[in-house]
Structure 1
Amino acid sequence: MVDEDGYFGEHVAARYDADEAEMFAAEAVDPAVTLLARLAGRGRALELGVGTGRIALPLARRGIPVHGIDLSRAMVARLRAKPGGDDIGVTLGDFATTRVAGSFSVAYLVFNTLMNLTSQQAQVDCFRNVADHLEPGGTFVVEVMVPELRKLPPGAQAVPFQIGPTRWAYDVYDVATQAMSSHYVDVVDGRGSFTSTPFRYVWPAELDLMAQLAGLRLRERRGGWAGEPFTGESQRHVSVWQKPVHADGKGR
């Protein structure tokens, strides 16, 4: 990950909520918040990559104390400017390694944000960091895409996902390293600009191994927040891993 002036600086923060308006709609937010609130129970929630508060704010409105970790000062400033934003505790730092005080009953990482960690080691470190923050019986929830490699014809590397009169966007995959990047061409007043953000895609089974290395076990995997079955055709998954209650590794 890069510093707050890099990929998620003011140039992204200023338009993030508008660019991702569909993800701020009630039908996208409410099912996620409902599941997270249930898992939190009477405990605290830790959001990795809290951003502008898309999930943290409505979760806090349900009475769940939320603390966030984020690398971007610009994104956190947008969170702070919203009603209730000052009630969300935020620690600035890389969520793969940054520690905060106390323990949590649920930690979560949504909307493909895990892929902002661009190496396997960083993703493993993230699972270990979360495990250290969870209380016994606590859960770690990740929402992330299933890699769309089946869309790649032989010899191709790019998959377009947005084509319009003022924006073209496409993902580029390196199947040898699992590196990928999203590229955007925007046209404003007849002038074009180009931006690119690196990611690392990750498979569900690989995540299960990362969880195992961190001492967590898979509790459930869904095809979405509403509880859809996870199948070979699912484009994303919402996975829940649990920290054992007892030292012998047995859960509740």
Structure 2
Amino acid sequence: MINQQQLWDHEAAEHYDTPGVGMFSPDVLGPTVEVLSELASGGPAVEFAIGTGRVAIPLLEAGVPVSGIELSHAMIARLRRKVGEDRIPVVQGDMSQVSIGSHYTLAILVFNTIANLLTQDEQVRCFQNAAGHLVPGGRFVVELWVPQLRSLPPGHGGTVEVSQPGYLLVDTYDVLRQHVISHHVRFGPEVADGRDARIGRTPHRYIWPSELDLMARIAGFELEHRWADWDRSEFTAESRSHVSVYRLTDRRMT
């Protein structure tokens, strides 16, 4: 059993923010906030797994009221160093279960975080919980990577996803359970023998786009848009990730 509270602990929260670079780059956040602001349609947003406020804070600054749900106490504590509860209210708990209202026009789940739920049942409940937060016609936006199983060499269960100075990312797959473990190896360039390396591991349950769409239908959503990125570029067979926008129709599957 994975203890997510231990996984996203104080150390993970302290190293999560990378101001101005990576996923905190203006080139990333600018288009993200622009799209989400438009999809909110003038109403409030709820962010599932709000983390340290990477998206929520600039979205609030763009004029969209934001509330959040976050499992990690450490992530919430770091968020609170940047913005108070009066500006971005956050409830601690599981995003597949916790409810904080039903008046939102937009629900947000970005940066692959739905994959942190390690069973299909939990992921379906997450969609159902998002639907419960939204007004009729509200939207649920999910950002997620496309499983790279085509990259697996025959007879091998892993791929090197990133190799750069000071950082190595290796993904290992359990294709029967649709599980992937990301192994993050960070090391200092000043030590050649690698004895200063730090290894962190994060488990995920990967989801094919078609499976994600079925989860949405079960919860009463229909797919409105799917883009390859926040710049609204076309999603193709070669896309490595997608931004999917679901609109609540309340035609739940029975």
TM-score computed with the length of structure 2 as normaliser: 0.91
Paired letter, 1:2: N
The answer to whether 1:243 aligns with 2:248 is yes
Q: Which moved more, 1:180-189 or 1:216-225?
A: 180-189
Paired letter, 2:30: D
Any conservation in 2 of the 1:53–1:85 contact (CA below 8 Å)?
Answer: no
Cα shift at 1:224: 0.8
Cα displacement string for residues 20-62 of structure 1 (whole angstroms, at most 9, x for unaligned residues): 9311011101111111111112211010110111100011011
Any conservation in 1 of the 2:33–2:55 contact (CA below 8 Å)?
Answer: yes
The answer to whether 1:207 aligns with 2:209 is no
Any conservation in 1 of the 2:102–2:135 contact (CA below 8 Å)?
Answer: no
Provide closer, same or farther for how the CA distance between residues 231 and 165 of structure 1 changes in structure 2, counting only shifts above 3 A.
closer
Work out the CA distance in 2 between the residues paired with 1:77 and 1:230.
36
Provide closer, same or farther for how the CA distance between residues 3 and 154 of structure 1 changes in structure 2, counting only shifts above 3 A.
closer
Q: Residue in 2 aligned with 1:130?
A: 130
SS in 2 for 1:242: strand
Work out the CA distance in 2 between the residues paired with 1:92 and 1:222.
31
SS in 2 for 1:87: coil
The answer to whether 1:234 aligns with 2:235 is no
Provide closer, same or farther for how the CA distance between residues 248 and 48 of structure 1 changes in structure 2, counting only shifts above 3 A.
closer
Q: Which moved more, 1:101-110 or 1:48-57?
A: 101-110
SS in 1 for 2:197: strand
Correspondence list, 1:1-252, <5 A: 2-4=3-5, 6-18=6-18, 21-83=21-83, 87-187=87-187, 190-244=195-249
SS in 2 for 1:39: helix
Q: Which moved more, 1:112-121 or 1:164-173?
A: 164-173
For this pair of structures, how many residues does the alignment match? 246
Cα shift at 1:94: 0.8
Question: Percent of pairs identical after alignment?
Answer: 43
SS in 1 for 2:160: strand
Cα shift at 1:192: 3.1
How large is the Cα RMSD of the aligned pairs? 1.9
SS in 2 for 1:18: coil
Cα shift at 1:196: 1.1
Q: Which moved more, 1:55-64 or 1:192-201?
A: 192-201
Work out the CA distance in 2 between the residues paired with 1:235 and 1:11.
29
TM-score computed with the length of structure 1 as normaliser: 0.91
Any conservation in 1 of the 2:217–2:251 contact (CA below 8 Å)?
Answer: no
SS in 1 for 2:126: helix
Task: List alignment gaps of at least 5 residues for structure 2.
Answer: none
Work out the CA distance in 2 between the residues paired with 1:145 and 1:167.
20
Work out the CA distance in 2 between the residues paired with 1:92 and 1:171.
29
Cα shift at 1:222: 0.8
Provide closer, same or farther for how the CA distance between residues 248 and 49 of structure 1 changes in structure 2, counting only shifts above 3 A.
closer
Paired letter, 1:35: V
SS in 1 for 2:7: coil
Work out the CA distance in 1 between the residues paired with 2:27 and 2:164.
25
Cα shift at 1:132: 0.8
